[in-house]
Amino acid sequence: MLTPSRDWDNEWQEISGPEAILIGVVQNPKLLPLQGKRLSDVAKIWNKDPMDALFDLLIEDNAFTEVAVFGMSEPDVALALEQPWVSIDNDSSGTSPDGILGQEHPHPRAYGTFPRILRKYVREEKKLTLEDAIRKFSSLPAQRMRLTDRGLVKQGMWADVVVFDPTTVRDLATFENPNQLSQGMEYVLVNGVPVIDQGKMTGTLPGRVLRGPGYLP
């Protein structure tokens, strides 16, 4: 980790220091007070070298620790986002901010990915048109995943529909307080059934598991 190399992706060398690593979700209940703190903070609390603190944290948490690493370049993100062949996903699981899972400290993308793009890159910075963003959210990834019956609003497709106001939709989740639902998604239909109605969850569960071409029963 201390030796620069082109043979592997050494994130330790790619960031400014331990302050660029934010401790997210931990499994060991004893470590819960560290959620939301930077690795530099943990090192100070434990009075250890940051790298020693990092490995000791992984040992204490049985290597289940999730982190956010501040190592990306905003101009690179914007450039990638503008490419017509780039679709958008979110690799953080969506959970209710209440209950057991609401005690975790996820990356803010868990709650704010798509509303953030609509607010920041469409409405404010105009890096994308609204139509471009919707395509990158829906039909383009469906095509890439070979989901031929989803991603478009047309006859014969499953009715997965979101109704929102593009002038008001926005993300609220932050790195300091990530468990915040976004605003502006008034209606959400999954397989034609409302799961959000006038901004309120209905409690219905119409979703189905989507199996890709590699699935074996």
What is 95-153 written as a DSSP string?
--SSSSGGGS---THHHHHHHHIIIIIIIIS-SS-HHHHHHHHTHHHHHHTT-TTSSS-
What's the one-letter identity of residue 167? T
- pLDDT tens profile 147-168: 889 999 999 999 999 999 999 9
Q: Between the CA of residue 173 and those of 25, 48, 79, 108, 151, what are the distances in Å? A: 15, 31, 23, 5, 26
Q: Can you say whether residue 184 is alpha, beta or left, with left for phi > 0 and alpha for psi between -120 and 50 degrees?
A: left
Q: What is the mean pLDDT of residues 177-188?
A: 93
pLDDT at 212 over 80: no
pLDDT in tens, 30-50: 999 999 999 999 999 999 999
Average pLDDT estimate for 130-157: 94
Q: How confident is the model at residue 78 (pLDDT cuts 50, 70, 90)?
A: very high
pLDDT (average), residues 176-191: 93
pLDDT band at 108 (very low <50, low <70, confident <90, very high): very high
pTM of structure: 0.87
Question: Per-residue confidence at 87, pLDDT binned at 50, 70, 90?
Answer: very high
Q: Does residue 10 surpass a pLDDT of 80?
A: yes
Give rounded-to-5 percent helix, strand, coil for the chain: 35, 10, 55
Cβ neighbours for 187, distance < 8 A, ≥ 6 positions apart: 161, 162, 163, 194, 196, 197, 198
Tell me what the pLDDT averaged over the chain comes to.
93
pLDDT of residue 94 exceeding 80, the answer is no
